A and B are shown apart, each in its own frame.
Chain A
Amino acid sequence: MLNFLLRRLATLLPTLIGVTLVAFGLIRLVPGDPIAIMMGERALDDATHARLMHELGLDQPLWRQYADYVGGLLHGDLGRSLVSHEPVSHEFLALFPATAELALFALLLAIVLGMALGTGAALRRGSLLDQGVMGVATVGYSMPVFWWGLILIMFFSVGLGWTPVSGRIAVEYDVQRVTGFMLVDAAFHDEPGAWRSALRHLLLPALVLGTSTTAVIARMTRSSLLEVLREDYMRSARARGLSPARVVLVHGLRNALIPVITVIGLKVGSLLAGAVLTETIFSWPGIGKWLIDAIARRDYPVVQAGILISACTFIAVNLLVDLLYGVVNPRIRKQG
């Protein structure tokens, strides 16, 4: 297993270097004088201009700039925001749990819902339930995230008044930040109702973000379970007199899991991209909204860091999925 991990890490190195090159190049590729672009309308005298050039290291030769940049990254230095003048890494650490909570909850929702729907459809193949689930899944897969969010807000928040429109928790709760996961922190908060409020804030954004993943997982679970149900070991499990539920849940789903895990890995990218849109709709204070706001404010160090972090998250999660894949299917970690 360790060998497998090391091999995978070695193939990732060129990709990681490439990603730092992209993030590094981002500021420098913007046409025109970078300082003037960052400052926008604000007028600059030559001294400030030179100071900023020096502060950002833009007066150094390119290779030196890159070396400094990577050196800084290795020390956890992501630069400073041009707007708040805070270290980017501080802002990132403050916001990352919000995105992680949203994405994980969305993924959890998608896995539970998707596998339940897919299993139901596979067991009642050809029935109305099957057709319904597959129809809904096809629509869900094609759904524009941002519009779906607006529609759900319209229905649940504005129409029924069930869920709040934005934010992570109602303003009256002053939850102390420990883990950064609002659901966890609110659970340990003594004011009654804090946890419920956090959950109600999280539910709709997570549902929106998880929709297309739910659809794909449902489709994948159905087709791979249908394949597994035909296998001999399933017949022998039934012949041994195991209960139908045990046959399907233990023997069937376990073996149908591998393609489902692959799909989850593939969908992580769309979860990250979807987070940008979902956070914008629900004013969710996470990395995605941070990135979009930074672009609007031309806060390039933040954009740079946001892109770099998203790419690294994506790479890391894919690695995790690969490892999980090896755990579920021992054949994979044996081969080169």
Chain B
Amino acid sequence: MSPPRDMNAMPATTAPPQASAPPGPFAEFWRGFSANRGALVALVVFTVLALAALLAPWIAPHDPVRQYREAMLTPPIWMDGGQARFLLGTDELGRDLLSRLLHGARVSLGIGLASVVLSLIPGVLLGLLAAFHQRLLAPVVMRVMDVMLALPGLLLAICVITVLGPGLTNTVIAIAIGSLPEYVRLTRAAALAELGKDYVTASRVAGASTRRLMFSAVLPNCLAPLIVNASLSFSAAILEAAGLGFLGLGVQAPTAEWGTMLSSARDYIVRAPWVVTLPGLAILLSVLSVNLMGDGLRDALDPRLKRAS
């Protein structure tokens, strides 16, 4: 790297790399991420969705489960017969759709986040253990993961739901179990690649304990693929939760969950299309924005991976 030149004339984030100081990790990440226009737009959309989810109880105009019996299936405001107090109309029980969508964002994004955390942490631990104990643990752990991978995501989730019963918490557990194998395999593969490197040997020779090797030396260098996978499994979790809800196996009514909303709306395709279109659009928009952000994350994190190896 060349020495820093006039930093005021050439901010580190926009200058070509050979002309500036080595950018900090975040600046470097941001440069990669923001080069992807789709990812930037997606970030904005996702931020709006996340804010809506966080602030739902305060910004929702109505209680999401309150039934206005006199205003059942009111169309959205831009259609004939729309009312100003129900901006996006009401559903078959007279509940305000906008409020339900906002609260639904809370449920859907919450399920996504919770199931990612719940599969990421045990997945990383199991993956590291399998990488560090090749002879003892790896065969057992990896065979179990193979079995779990033999059932495609939604079906494994259905299995878990069959045993545990439907509901919000069980949806999270079912989805988390379903995405566990990816994390285990990914962590193990990345950790195995790192284990052969000199810095790990050096650290081991210097007397670092296994635990220290795992978490201080190896894990930080395996993070990039894990982060990318986390974003992908986050969007998959939203889709799966909605799918389970649609099948009646997920979050139960009257809780406002996008998939559950769709399953009860099926009978109103002809009479009240907005009851069907809007929750689906919400699902599509959030999944799409997370996927596009994932693409951006990969663009930003992958080159570093290549350089490191």
A residues lining the B interface (CB < 8 Å):
14-15, 18-19, 21-22, 26, 29-31, 138-139, 141-148, 150-151, 153-154, 158, 268-270, 272-273, 276-277, 280-281, 291-292, 295-296, 300, 303, 307, 310-311, 314-315
Q: CB distance A15 to B143 under 8 Å?
A: yes
A150 — nearest CB in chain B belongs to which residue? B276
Report the Cα distance A21→B147, complex, angstroms: 10
Contact residues of B between 12 and 29, Cβ < 8 Å to A:
none
Contact mask B235-274 → A, CB, 8 Å, 1/0?
1000100110011110000000001001100100110010
B63 interface residue (CB < 8 Å to A): no
Q: CB distance A295 to B151 under 8 Å?
A: no
26 contacts between A and B (CB under 8 A): A22-B151, A22-B159, A138-B38, A138-B291, A139-B288, A142-B287, A144-B239, A144-B284, A146-B242, A146-B243, A147-B276, A147-B283, A150-B266, A150-B276, A154-B276, A158-B269, A273-B243, A277-B246, A280-B247, A291-B158, A292-B247, A310-B152, A311-B151, A314-B150, A314-B151, A314-B152
Tell me the dominant secondary structure on chain A's binding face: helix
Instruction: Report which of A22, A147, A272 forms a contact with B147, defined as CB distance below 8 A.
Output: A22
Across-interface contacts of A269 in B (CB, < 8 A): 152-153
4 smallest CB-CB distances across A and B, nearest first, come from: A147-B280, A18-B147, A269-B152, A273-B154
B residues lining the A interface (CB < 8 Å):
38, 143-144, 146-147, 150-155, 158-159, 161-163, 235, 239, 242-243, 246-249, 259, 262-263, 266, 269-270, 273, 276-277, 279-280, 283-284, 287-288, 291-292
B238 — nearest CB in chain A belongs to which residue? A144
Across-interface contacts of B277 in A (CB, < 8 A): 151
In the complex, how many angstroms separate the beta carbon of B158 from the nearest chain A beta carbon?
7
Q: CB distance A143 to B284 under 8 Å?
A: yes
Q: CB distance A144 to B152 under 8 Å?
A: no
Q: CB distance B283 to A310 under 8 Å?
A: no
B276 — nearest CB in chain A belongs to which residue? A150
Q: CB distance A154 to B273 under 8 Å?
A: yes
B38 — nearest CB in chain A belongs to which residue? A138
Q: CB distance B153 to A142 under 8 Å?
A: no
Q: CB distance B152 to A151 under 8 Å?
A: no
Q: CB distance B150 to A307 under 8 Å?
A: no
In the complex, how many angstroms separate the beta carbon of B145 from the nearest chain A beta carbon?
10
Q: CB distance A272 to B158 under 8 Å?
A: no
Q: Say whether, besides A151-B277, A273-B155, A276-B155, A144 and B162 are in contact (CB < 8 Å).
A: no
A143 — nearest CB in chain B belongs to which residue? B284
Q: CB distance B269 to A153 under 8 Å?
A: yes
Report the Cα distance A141→B291, complex, angstroms: 9
Across-interface contacts of A307 in B (CB, < 8 A): 151, 155, 158-159
Instruction: Report which of B155, B163, B242, B262 forms a contact with A30, defined as CB distance below 8 A.
Output: B163
Report the Cα distance A109→B152, complex, angstroms: 21
Q: CB distance A142 to B288 under 8 Å?
A: yes
In the complex, how many angstroms separate the beta carbon of B119 from the nearest chain A beta carbon?
17
Across-interface contacts of A144 in B (CB, < 8 A): 239, 242-243, 259, 280, 283-284, 287
Q: CB distance A29 to B163 under 8 Å?
A: yes
Report the Cα distance A142→B282, complex, angstroms: 12
Across-interface contacts of A276 in B (CB, < 8 A): 154-155, 158, 247
Across-interface contacts of B287 in A (CB, < 8 A): 142-144
Q: CB distance B259 to A158 under 8 Å?
A: no
Across-interface contacts of B269 in A (CB, < 8 A): 150, 153-154, 158
